[in-house]
């Protein structure tokens, strides 16, 4: 089940499911399935919803707390550092300095001044991020239950996953079209468990050049 925030944005507008369906050219039943997480939302549909509801794509995907903070197409822009590649599949040593930057809207930089971009490598999060996506990570943002975050496993191994907490247990959940990717559950009270450290929350993303829904 996906963690879309379609219902939150729709209710904030004072719209019914039927209202939203008419705005984007679909049915009330389809909107209900999207909101429940029973159906994946195609990128083309997410874009229509974002424009109709006046919120960001990142917010609808559950990556941002404030629907008005993240606007990837605003200007002027500001360069933010690209730190390296992040594995969206098996954890790997992935964090290193590249010396490169990628432009972000100035409002995004102001909201997340210590943020940095990481390039996605792998397919375990491809429901949200295709290969080559740049994900903006803010190390100052609290990672709460269900957020997408960068997690260090065993020191220098890093991975991008949706994170769930249950006491001392951490569950790293993939968002993949490929069923081979499964949840990884780590009990931090187990003396043999790998060390887990959350680096920061994903707050925005930029799709790779040439990518189409």
Q: How far is it, in rounded angstroms, from Cα 207 to Cα 54?
A: 20
Residue 183 CB neighbours (<10 A): 11
> What values do phi and psi take at 58, rounded to 5?
-60, -40
Active-site residue, from 58, 124, 176, 207 = 124
Residue 157 half-sphere exposure toward CB, CA atoms < 13 A: 11
> What values do phi and psi take at 111, rounded to 5?
-75, -30
- What is the rounded (10 degree) CA torsion for 199, 85, 109, 129? -90
* 124 in catalytic set: yes
Q: How far is it, in rounded angstroms, from Cα 66 to Cα 63?
A: 9
Residue 14 CB neighbours (<10 A): 7
Q: Which residues are catalytic?
A: 124, 161
């Amino acid at each position: 089940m996906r963690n879309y925030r379609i219902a939150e944005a729709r209710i904030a507008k004072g719209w019914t499911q039927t209202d939203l369906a008419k705005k984007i050219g679909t049915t009330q039943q389809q909107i209900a399935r999207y909101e429940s997480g029973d159906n994946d939302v195609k990128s083309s549909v997410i874009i229509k919803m974002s424009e109709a509801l006046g919120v960001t794509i990142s917010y609808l995907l559950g990556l941002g707390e404030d629907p008005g903070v993240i606007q990837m197409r605003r200007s002027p822009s500001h360069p933010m550092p690209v730190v390296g590649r992040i594995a969206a599949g098996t954890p790997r040593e992935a964090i290193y300095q590249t010396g490169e930057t990628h432009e972000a809207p100035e409002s995004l930089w102001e909201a997340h001044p210590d943020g940095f971009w990481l390039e996605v490598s792998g397919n375990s999060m491809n429901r949200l991020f295709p290969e080559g996506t740049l994900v903006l990570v803010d190390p100052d943002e609290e990672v709460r239950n269900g957020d997408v975050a960068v997690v260090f496993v065993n020191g220098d191994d890093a991975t991008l996953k949706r994170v769930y907490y249950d006491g001392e247990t951490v569950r790293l959940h993939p968002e993949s079209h490929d069923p081979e990717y499964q949840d990884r559950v780590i009990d931090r009270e187990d003396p043999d468990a790998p060390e887990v450290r959350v680096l920061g929350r994903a707050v925005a993303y930029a799709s790779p050049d040439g990518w189409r829904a």
